[in-house]
Chain A
Amino acid sequence: MYNESTHFVWGSFRPSQTLSWSRLFMASFVSSQWIRSVCRSRFSRCGILAFLLYGLLVTSHRVWLPAFGDFLVLGERPVRSDLVVVAAASYSRVRYALQLVRTGYTDRLLIVGDTRIKMVPFGKTKLELAEQEAREEGISPDLLFIRHSTSTRHDARLAKQLMHEAGLRSATVVSDAYNMRRLAMVFDYVFRGEDMVLNYVHPTRDRDPFKSDRWWRFPDRFSYVVSEWIKFPVNFFLLPRGSS
């Protein structure tokens, strides 16, 4: 029950008064009484708890927020494989895939991408630009495969289909660091039950430690990480239903 005698009156302690041990003791006693009186109401208790929790989260955010970015990253070392699969959405991953081909990790390259979105002002798709670059790098047309794709699941299906047709047993999948966890989940699901080995790699420069540890400070990284955290559970629940 609320007790009038325990109610704290702010006017009873003034900072202008000379501070002594007895006054300090009195002040702390009265403060504790005030906190107790406030805490008697459930609503106030919840408010105080929420405020404390918020304070804790804000002060410690540099400790726990990097983990949300790190969880998404799944990087393996490149190994020799029959095929490299890459989506043409970003230039850095296509360059990295071409580098893997050039350095002898593989001979065949599958580039997938959406042909519906053309770049302003050139009117070309990224898939077309990637294909052109791969040809200029000297990749033989017999070993270069270009496919239209609209989603990660579509990418995985196209890779599986190609590997079946060409009798390939292993593939290296290249993507951005933050895309890796979801990409691996989708590819592993599509390739389940197949006797094929998949290896997941991302360009090394994606793991810039300065930016990775503070991803929430950069709008592009923030958008990437949060969108992956939105898509990851969505994909997780939709995969068994066959939706892309």
Chain B
Amino acid sequence: MAPVNFKYRRASLWGGGFLLAAAAALVMFHSALLRNIGIFLVVEETVAEPVDAVLTWTINEKVSICYRAGQCKKIYILLEDYQRSWKALRSFDVRGWHLKNAERLEISKDDLVFINNELGDAVDAGGYLRRLFAEREIRSAILLVPYFQTRTYRFFLDRNENWDPDRGRIFIQPLEKDYAEQFDCWWLNTGLDNLYLDQYLRIGWYYFNKLLLS
């Protein structure tokens, strides 16, 4: 049997070696690791059959692709209330801007539905979506949100008691078509750092309050 101090020294050596190897691996692979931390935030759910609606903040190429591929019947545009925001936005003709975009992307005006955005943040989205689905008799929809928020929306929708998955299906997809390049060295961009950290912390908020039993 080995003496105690020898066993202790051997354990320390193993521990130190492991830490050193872990640190070296972290330095070597930090780009890939951090890139995957960013990519983890994106959820892009595949839609197998056409849905009743697309819920979006804006009409862009992604919406146009869905529409022209016959994946959706109606496009619901969530109109923001800018009355307490920047003055330039208060007087901005948001509807006109959306209609112009729709025309440019060859989307029929008859298939556009303007509704006030009461979605709030991802935490409260379930309740609003349930009401919307019931009022408009929607059975399935694609929800387009900024790419870095897709994971958070899915996370809270799966845990929201107000959302009943049997009443309808929601497919979450990124609003942007090209977002992959955003993950190249995002940690060197303070703006993206803050956006991505915020999403992780919002998910953390759920667990933190569970831990506090509140």
Contacts and interface: CB of A to CB of B under 8 A. Distances in A.
Contact of A151 (B88, B123, B190, B202): B190
Contacts of A220: 121
A219 B123 contact: yes
B212 A216 contact: yes
A216 to B, nearest CB: 6
Contacts of A121: 57-58, 60, 94, 97-98
B201 A226 contact: yes
Interface stretch (B28-36, B37-45, B191-199): B191-199
Interface stretch (A22-30, A112-120, A193-201): A112-120
Interface string B177-205: 00000000000011100100110011011
Contacts of B97: 121
A101 to B, nearest CB: 15
A116 B189 CA distance: 9
A79 to B, nearest CB: 27
A230 interface: yes
Contacts of A219: 121, 123, 202, 205
Given A217-B214, A219-B121, A114 B191 contact: yes
Contacts of A130: 86
Given A61-B212, A223-B205, A230-B197, A117 B88 contact: no
A121 B85 CA distance: 14
Contact of A223 (B86, B92, B201, B213): B201
B50 to A, nearest CB: 25
Interface in A108-128: 114, 116-117, 120-122, 124, 126
Contacts of B175: 120
B136 to A, nearest CB: 22
A114 B92 contact: no
Interface residues of B, number: 33
Given A58-B213, A91-B85, A219-B123, A227 B198 contact: yes
A136 B201 contact: no
Given A61-B212, A216-B212, A223-B201, A150 B190 contact: yes
A130 B89 CA distance: 11
Nearest to B203: A219
Interface in A202-244: 216-217, 219-220, 222-223, 226-227, 230, 244
A120 B57 CA distance: 8
B201 A122 contact: no
B146 interface: yes
Given A58-B213, A223-B198, A136 B87 contact: yes
Contacts of A222: 201-202, 204-205, 208
A230 B204 CA distance: 14
A103 interface: no
Q: Which of A129, A132, A217, A219: most chain B Cβ within 10 A?
A: A219
13 contacts: A58-B213, A91-B84, A120-B175, A121-B94, A150-B189, A219-B123, A219-B202, A219-B205, A222-B208, A223-B198, A226-B201, A227-B194, A244-B190
Given A132-B88, A136-B87, A227-B201, 6 more contacts: A61-B212, A61-B214, A91-B84, A121-B98, A130-B86, A150-B191
